[in-house]
Amino acid sequence: MNWSSSPASWRPQRSSRPMLSSRLCPASSGRATAMRRRPRGFTAVLLALGVLLAAACAGNQSDDESSVEGSRGRNEPLMIAAAASLTGPLNEIGSGFVAATGNAAAVRFSFDSSAALASQIRGGAPADVFAAADSDSMQRLVGEGLIKGEPHPFARNQLAIAVKRGNPRGVKGLEDLASAGIVALGGKEVPVGKYAEKSLASAGVNVPASKITRAKDSRAVANAVAVGDADVGIIFATDSTIPGLDVVSIPEKYNQIAIYTIAVLKRARNGAAAETFVEYVLSGEGQAVLRSAGFMDPA
């Protein structure tokens, strides 16, 4: 995963508490000769005290190390693996989360297709929270025992047709994609690609395979159209803000609704902050950001 930090990420300060306490730990010295001159009983007492003191030092060391381990978990960066179509709003939500909670952790994001992120998580990539653009990618991780609790629906999206600014091909609807030149679609395994295939099928439109170019996610489809690598594409509506695009709407009867879900991973290293982040996404503040980015409410 490629991680990027939230613009307002908080950087934890080093703890001023020493890792080990040495005030009570006896150091070796050249007192052996002097001790031999003392009465045998007194020497035995000193030896007994030494054993007790060493045990106390070991106890202090264990307590301090436990405290350091606990603070390390709290201060580790909060890793969010999220669908690429969430790039803008989640960066804004990350900044708001840090400002609102004063959370003692930097917020870092890895944006990619939901399918790619799920595969990376399955392979052991570090992440605390997973936000997917479809239920399939999330449910596969649930089935494999990698998700803590139940995933939460937090937003919905729909499809749109992306054309180059000015719509030079005169595209008016899905039916025009069969003869519109090069058509960019998401990969068959990624959410926007699967939804596009269903939308075309429901409209009875067959795009020749020779005219299709595949992209890794919705933003990549939009960029391909914007720079002229494709003449038209099917994207998530929220990615229509990418410069150089115009958008043609898809009728409701042919459109597909993507339900976005979010969850904490069982192996999260910053579990407490992860739970709080999910709560913030579901809160009024988080939902307002998503709404302003064009997402629909989860229900």
CATH code for the domain in which residue 209 is found: 3.40.190.10
pLDDT(5) > 90: no
- pLDDT computed for residue 13 by the predictor: 32
Domain end residue (candidates: 25, 53, 73): 73
Our count of domains for the chain comes to 2
pLDDT higher at 217 or 73: 217
pLDDT higher at 110 or 10: 110
Q: Give 116-129 pLDDT, tens digit per residue.
A: 999 999 999 999 99
- pLDDT computed for residue 192 by the predictor: 97
Domain membership of residue 5 (yes or no) is: no
- pLDDT computed for residue 74 by the predictor: 55
Domain membership of residue 33 (yes or no) is: no
Question: What are the residues whose beta carbons fall under 8 Å from the beta carbon of 47, sequence distance 6 or more?
Answer: none
Confidence tier at 102 by pLDDT (50, 70, 90): confident
User: Rounded mean pLDDT of 7-22?
Assistant: 34
Confidence tier at 20 by pLDDT (50, 70, 90): very low
Domain end residue (candidates: 73, 92, 127): 73
Domain membership of residue 119 (yes or no) is: no
- pLDDT computed for residue 23 by the predictor: 31
Domain limits for position 250: 157-257
Domain membership of residue 43 (yes or no) is: yes
pLDDT higher at 192 or 9: 192
- pLDDT computed for residue 104 by the predictor: 62
Domain membership of residue 59 (yes or no) is: yes
- pLDDT computed for residue 42 by the predictor: 38
Domain membership of residue 198 (yes or no) is: yes
- pLDDT computed for residue 103 by the predictor: 72
Question: What are the residues whose beta carbons fall under 8 Å from the beta carbon of 198, sequence distance 6 or more?
Answer: 256
Quick one: how far is CA 156 from the chain centroid? 18
CA distance 132 to 200: 23
CA distance 2 to 80: 11
212 DSSP β-pair partners: 183
56 DSSP β-pair partners: none
- pLDDT computed for residue 76 by the predictor: 79
Of 292, 273, 272, the residue nearest 284 (C-alpha): 292
Least confident of 63-67, 101-105, 276-280: 63-67
pLDDT higher at 152 or 39: 152
- pLDDT computed for residue 211 by the predictor: 97
pLDDT(228) > 60: yes
Least confident of 55-69, 131-145, 146-160, 182-196: 55-69
- pLDDT computed for residue 95 by the predictor: 94
Domain end residue (candidates: 73, 88, 118): 73
Question: What are the residues whose beta carbons fall under 8 Å from the beta carbon of 225, sequence distance 6 or more?
Answer: 162, 163, 164, 184, 231, 232, 233, 235, 244, 245
Domain membership of residue 245 (yes or no) is: yes
Question: What are the residues whose beta carbons fall under 8 Å from the beta carbon of 11, sequence distance 6 or more?
Answer: 106
User: Rounded mean pLDDT of 254-275?
Assistant: 96
- pLDDT computed for residue 75 by the predictor: 65
User: Rounded mean pLDDT of 74-90?
Assistant: 91
User: Rounded mean pLDDT of 223-246?
Assistant: 97
With H, G, I as helix, E, B as strand and everything else as coil, classify residue 99. Answer: helix
CA distance 89 to 87: 6
Domain membership of residue 195 (yes or no) is: yes
Asked if 259 contacts 153 with a C-beta cutoff of 8 angstroms, the reply is yes
- pLDDT computed for residue 49 by the predictor: 37
The tally of CA atoms less than 13 A away on the side-chain side of residue 228 is 2
- pLDDT computed for residue 1 by the predictor: 66
